[in-house]
Amino acid sequence: MNEKIYNIPLFKVHMPESVLKPLNEVLMSGFIGQGPKVEEFEKKIGDFIGNPNVLTVNSGTSAIQLAYRLAGVGIGDEVITTPMTNIATNVPIIAAGGKIKWADIDSETGSLSPDSVKKKISKKTKAIMAMQWGGYPPNMDEIHEIAQDFGIKVIEDAAQGFGAEYKNRKTGSYSDFTIFSFQAIKHITTGDGGALICRNREDYDRGKLLRWFGIDRDEKGRKDFRCEKDIKEWGYKFHMNDICATIGINQMKYIEGILRKTRANAKRFDNELEGVELLNYANDRKSAYWLYTIKVPDLDLFFSKMKEKGITVSQVHARNDKHTMFNEFQEKLPGVDKFVDGMVCIPVGWWLSDDDLNHIIRSINELS
């Protein structure tokens, strides 16, 4: 009998057909800009995470840029951050005229090490960027404690962590600022898009103005459609539109199912993989498992074996500190060195059938 040929992707666009009817309606409605669909999507996100202060934007990167601005990061200010992430976490620091202070990570989880963060605090520190590797929250109690002691803001880059939980609270409900991404291959997608979640209402109100040039779109008593009120502070053109929001509203119907299936897949890997090192996740939090990361003894062998078996694997992100654009910010980061050595991500998402899961587990275990 011929062996079955597999082609298992690491990521897949989640786009149910049920989006087509509402999308068609909004496309033909005569109004496709930022309108009622954006508000409806924000309400759904707010209900899901347990925080109404939701500002949707046109990408996760825009949400990060807005968060740094609201956190007060300006020229010469420092942000403590991880290099083990998408460059979108860190490029906006440079765009704001800020300086990067790399903190080390916990090599057993890939997440920011609070001990390292503490050592990097200076008078110029304005914010701590707590990125969620694959959707796994770092130790937020310790990070918040440090931030409180030094009077600085905490931003969580949860682009990969929509649906993650920390001590039974959904990510988005416990930090000064949290950002999500809804780009093509995230748990839910709006094509491109993102959201900035603010802990307090004042930041939300200011963020709402800054995501649209600083113009108050809610201004009462306008003579016509023009926003005429004085603009006090310049902002960006970062808002979401009703087309993306319509896709997002529809996607929200599926998020619980996506998380349930993804976590069940991860559990099977936890229980059944052999000959590889698993990450050491704390049981007071729930990863959203956008990534399932393992450490393997021989990366080249692993890559060639997975290719032969039709399973796409990847390290997903290159450590940011090695890019020329970040040359001036160099630090010793033994946790990062250890984490990247043999680290690889395997498919874990909602699209895996039982047969795919069995094939992945069998193929990895054959190497042990």
Ligand X SMILES: Cc1ncc(COP(=O)(O)O)c(C=O)c1O
Residues near ligand X (CB under 6 A) are: 59-61, 85-86, 88-89, 131, 157, 159-160, 181, 183, 194
Contact status, residue 285 vs residue 327, Cβ threshold 8 Å:
no
Nearer to ligand X, 79 or 357 (CB): 79
- The CB-of-194 to ligand X minimum distance in angstroms stands at 5
Nearer to ligand X, 238 or 359 (CB): 238
Q: Is the Cα dihedral 70, 71, 72, 73 positive or negative?
A: negative
- The CB-of-151 to ligand X minimum distance in angstroms stands at 25
- Closest residue to ligand X, judged by C-beta, is 60
- The CB-of-185 to ligand X minimum distance in angstroms stands at 8
- The CB-of-244 to ligand X minimum distance in angstroms stands at 11
Nearer to ligand X, 186 or 295 (CB): 186
For 123, 247, 259, the CA distances from 189, given in Å and listed in that order, are 39, 8, 14
C-alpha 53, offset from chain centre: 18
Nearer to ligand X, 181 or 287 (CB): 181
- The CB-of-141 to ligand X minimum distance in angstroms stands at 21
- The CB-of-30 to ligand X minimum distance in angstroms stands at 28
Structure tokens at 274: 């052999």
Nearer to ligand X, 136 or 204 (CB): 136
Nearer to ligand X, 134 or 235 (CB): 134
Q: CA triplet 59, 205, 239: central angle to 5 degrees?
A: 25
Nearer to ligand X, 191 or 310 (CB): 191
Q: Looking up tokens 């997608």, which residue turns up?
A: 189
- The CB-of-328 to ligand X minimum distance in angstroms stands at 22
Give 326's contacts (C-beta < 8 A, 6+ positions apart).
Answer: 83, 90, 100, 320
Q: How many Cβ atoms sit within 10 Å of the Cβ of residue 230?
A: 7
Q: Say which amino acid occupies 58.
A: N
- Residue in 242, 245, 246, 241 with CA at minimum distance from that of residue 20: 246
- Residue in 248, 254, 212, 244 with CA at minimum distance from that of residue 231: 212
Contact status, residue 159 vs residue 194, Cβ threshold 8 Å:
yes
Helices (H), 50-150: 60-70, 91-95, 114-120, 140-150
- The CB-of-341 to ligand X minimum distance in angstroms stands at 21
Structure tokens at 87: 């460059």
| Residue 228 region by backbone torsions, left for phi larger than 0, else alpha for psi between -120 and 50, else beta | alpha
Nearer to ligand X, 6 or 11 (CB): 11
| Cα Rg of the chain (Å, integer) | 21
- The CB-of-318 to ligand X minimum distance in angstroms stands at 13
- Residue in 117, 7, 27, 1 with CA at minimum distance from that of residue 360: 7
Nearer to ligand X, 82 or 250 (CB): 82
Nearer to ligand X, 164 or 364 (CB): 164
Q: Is the Cα dihedral 169, 238, 26, 23 positive or negative?
A: negative
- The CB-of-290 to ligand X minimum distance in angstroms stands at 8
**Please, what's the b/e burial string for 301-328 (b: 16 or more CB within 10 A of its CB; e: otherwise)?**
ebeebbeebbbebeebbebbbeeeebee
